[in-house]
Structure 1
Amino acid sequence: MSAAAFGLVPGTSMEAAANVIAGESAGIRAVPVLPQRGVTGDVVAHTLSWLPDLPVDIGPRAWRVCARPQNATRALYEQRATDLDALEAAWGSTPACKIQVCGPWTLASAVELSNGHRILSDPAATADLFAMYAQALEEYSAVLTQRFGVRKLKVHVLEPATRRIAEGSIPGTSQLDPIAAHSPKHMGERLHELFEAWNRAGMEMMLDQGSRPLIEVVQVAAPATLVLHQRSIAGFSHAELDRVGTWLGTGHLAHVGDGDERSQAKSVSGLMRTLGYSPAQATEALMMDDPQGASGLSAAARRIAAAREAAHILHETAGEF
């Protein structure tokens, strides 16, 4: 049984966030992402900062691809280096680490080409993004290994846009320029190719589709771990729960929960029963805090601690509630 911070931390100071992660986490440490820094601090910007072959600038609606690095591009690279220096000073070595990245499908829907169209609207540009994404993450992993002595790396892949992409509800430049829907099977296959390559490089994939996961994508992508948010589970249909239960026969669960440690532990134990598993198998879940609503560092610390204690309770009780 283990726990880890989700990775989204309030505030703008990497030093303060690093101290909260180190103080409240047990074992694995999550590289913090600081959305309150604004457009340059969210998970999209964090991911763009380690894609050197994708220079970008801040456009009128979103990040926009440029022919060569701009001031905004250089600022992202400099911020990443400064943040890594701060983490190294705060942590020293950390053999187990979790990084949070914006998945390639969601990134393709969030970033525009130079002509103002989303990358997602252009199959060739999307394919190019996947290719550079695969190489860049391996290079980023090597940087973490060199700086922190990381031997175990979990990659928390955020793909909240997959359902909207499958539904064809991502807007184009206008109503007359819709972006075609993509099949869940196709999206899962492209993710699976990346996951297989990263697995061979020693990274462990965690797929997180937010509050409305598309289980068909999970089944094909085959990540090591499926991230489920406590607040979304109640909205699952019986068919979706059956598919989750079937998938868990080959993978692991990461549970993002809110509330005190006992309520989180009971939630995971109850979910395993619903999926047809022994409560003891709840002890295999990775517990993570729900960062929503943590407006300050002290609240974030309490949420991370609650996830850690929930993991301890499940371990001590073998999941029996």
Structure 2
Amino acid sequence: MSLATGVGSMPGDDQAAYDEAVKVVLGELTDLAHLPEVPGRGAVASMTGRALAVVTDLGADLQPAGWRLTGTDGSGVDHRRARSLLAQDLDGLEEQAQGFGAAFKLQVAGPWTLAATVEKPRGDKVLADVGARRELAQALAEGVRGHVADVRRRLPGVERLVVQVDEPALPAVLGGKVPTASGFHRHRTVDLPEASEALGWVLAAVAEAGAEPWVHSCAAGTPLGLLRGAGAQGLSVDLAMTSAADHDALAETLEAGGTVALGVVPSVDPSTRPTDAGVTESVLRWLDMVGLDPAEVGERLVVTPSCGLAGASPGWARAALHLLSQAAGHLTR
């Protein structure tokens, strides 16, 4: 049987929305639930804020231009708020997920997306400094180990734990398309070996903590071969954004025993809602195109929304996850 899960984010702008998101995720995604993210609550709940809440041994604060590292000089009030909010969210998850024994997924921004969005202590992106981006990647890897251990303690019935490393900025980093602070120039490209090494530290930390490392990006041009080479056991993509080369890489991942998560349902409210039969058919067509039998890939094929659901209405977010769950059940019948 194939599985269904969410990419991560859910709609809403307050704590009640987070509590409802947990309830929806646990109710609809009974085979592979995930820790919801509700970025509408502000910068401390954003993808970057959540990842900085996980990072160890580095402080940060929130400036008008966004998040900035403070080195080892201590965390600013917003960084402390981000850590407190993550702990509060995990408390809420633990309370609602009592007895949950299916697979479970966490999400964290990857080292290159962080390097492209977080500033150095004296300004400009971490991406501009080889030493700073190395330090941030290693601090993230160490923080992920502790995060996985904390979640395992809170969800003792979960045997399969997945950590999805989100890297939407990776294509821009590799393509030299990340703007400098002035906006008039672009940061230099990062060499592929360095990109793979930093990502590999984080993915290895996930695996060493006893979880399954995936990488997600719904951006076009994501180098899937690099992700696999860095240690990703699962690849999560928006099917509509994939190329012919991507199809080959995804098929190779499944054939090698890895997991592929295909984004096949709109992440915002569509003008015409798809049906579970239509979603099932689109996945079966893709499997036929790459020459794979749905019965053989089984649970290693996962269906998801095309990207996060933060921009959706609460009604569509719930409907999308329900639709995916139904389609997953149809795929191997």
Whole-Å Cα distance in 1 between the matches of residues 291 and 196 of structure 2?
25
Partner of 1:319: none
Q: 1:82 aligns with which of 73, 85, 88?
A: 88
Letter in 2 for 1:210: C
Q: Does 1:226 align with 2:241?
A: no
Partner of 1:39: 43
TM-score, length-normalised on structure 1?
0.90
Letter in 2 for 1:92: Q
Query: In the TM superposition, what is the alpha-carbon distance from 1:176 to its structure 2 partner?
Result: 6.9
Cα 1:243/1:148, change in 2 over 3 Å: closer
SS of the residue 2:54 aligns to: coil
Partner of 2:270: none
TM-score, length-normalised on structure 2?
0.87
Q: Does 1:203 align with 2:211?
A: yes
Matches of residues 110-189 of structure 1 in structure 2 within 5 Å? 110-149=117-156, 150-174=158-182, 178-189=186-197
Whole-Å Cα distance in 2 between the matches of residues 175 and 17 of structure 1?
36
Q: Does 1:307 align with 2:307?
A: no
Whole-Å Cα distance in 1 between the matches of residues 107 and 246 of structure 2?
25
SS of the residue 1:231 aligns to: helix
Question: Mean Cα displacement is larger for which, 173-182 or 215-224?
Answer: 173-182
Partner of 1:249: 255
Partner of 2:268: none
Identify the structure with bigger relative contact order (alpha carbons < 8 Å, sequence gap 6+). Answer: 2
Q: 2:107 aligns with which of 72, 92, 100?
A: 100
SS of the residue 1:315 aligns to: coil
Residues 2 and 26 in structure 1, CA contact (< 8 A), matched pair in contact too: no
Letter in 1 for 2:332: H
Whole-Å Cα distance in 2 between the matches of residues 40 and 147 of structure 1?
22
Letter in 1 for 2:281: K
Q: 1:72 aligns with which of 72, 78, 82?
A: 78
Question: Mean Cα displacement is larger for which, 8-17 or 298-307?
Answer: 8-17
Partner of 2:5: 4
SS of the residue 2:232 aligns to: coil
Q: Does 1:272 align with 2:287?
A: yes
Residues 56 and 64 in structure 1, CA contact (< 8 A), matched pair in contact too: yes
Query: In the TM superposition, what is the alpha-carbon distance from 1:61 to its structure 2 partner?
Result: 1.4
Task: Mark the runs of 5 or more structure 1 residues left unpaired by the alignment.
Answer: 317-321
Query: In the TM superposition, what is the alpha-carbon distance from 1:16 to its structure 2 partner?
Result: 1.1
Residues 294 and 300 in structure 1, CA contact (< 8 A), matched pair in contact too: no
State the identity %: 25
Letter in 2 for 1:218: L
Q: Alignment RMSD, CA only?
A: 2.1
Whole-Å Cα distance in 2 between the matches of residues 131 and 275 of structure 1?
37
Letter in 2 for 1:144: V
Matched residue count: 313
Partner of 1:286: 302
Question: Mean Cα displacement is larger for which, 72-81 or 184-193?
Answer: 184-193
Whole-Å Cα distance in 2 between the matches of residues 207 and 230 of structure 1?
15
Task: Mark the runs of 5 or more structure 2 residues left unpaired by the alignment.
Answer: 266-273
Query: In the TM superposition, what is the alpha-carbon distance from 1:282 to its structure 2 partner?
Result: 5.3
Partner of 1:16: 20
Cα 1:108/1:293, change in 2 over 3 Å: closer
Whole-Å Cα distance in 2 between the matches of residues 16 and 35 of structure 1?
14
Question: Mean Cα displacement is larger for which, 297-306 or 147-156?
Answer: 147-156
Cα 1:281/1:188, change in 2 over 3 Å: farther
Residues 159 and 209 in structure 1, CA contact (< 8 A), matched pair in contact too: yes
Residues 215 and 235 in structure 2, CA contact (< 8 A), matched pair in contact too: yes
Cα 1:142/1:117, change in 2 over 3 Å: same
Query: In the TM superposition, what is the alpha-carbon distance from 1:23 to its structure 2 partner?
Result: 1.4
SS of the residue 2:45 aligns to: coil
Letter in 2 for 1:70: G
Query: In the TM superposition, what is the alpha-carbon distance from 1:31 to its structure 2 partner?
Result: 0.5
Question: Mean Cα displacement is larger for which, 224-233 or 189-198?
Answer: 189-198
Letter in 1 for 2:49: A
Query: In the TM superposition, what is the alpha-carbon distance from 1:301 to its structure 2 partner?
Result: 0.9
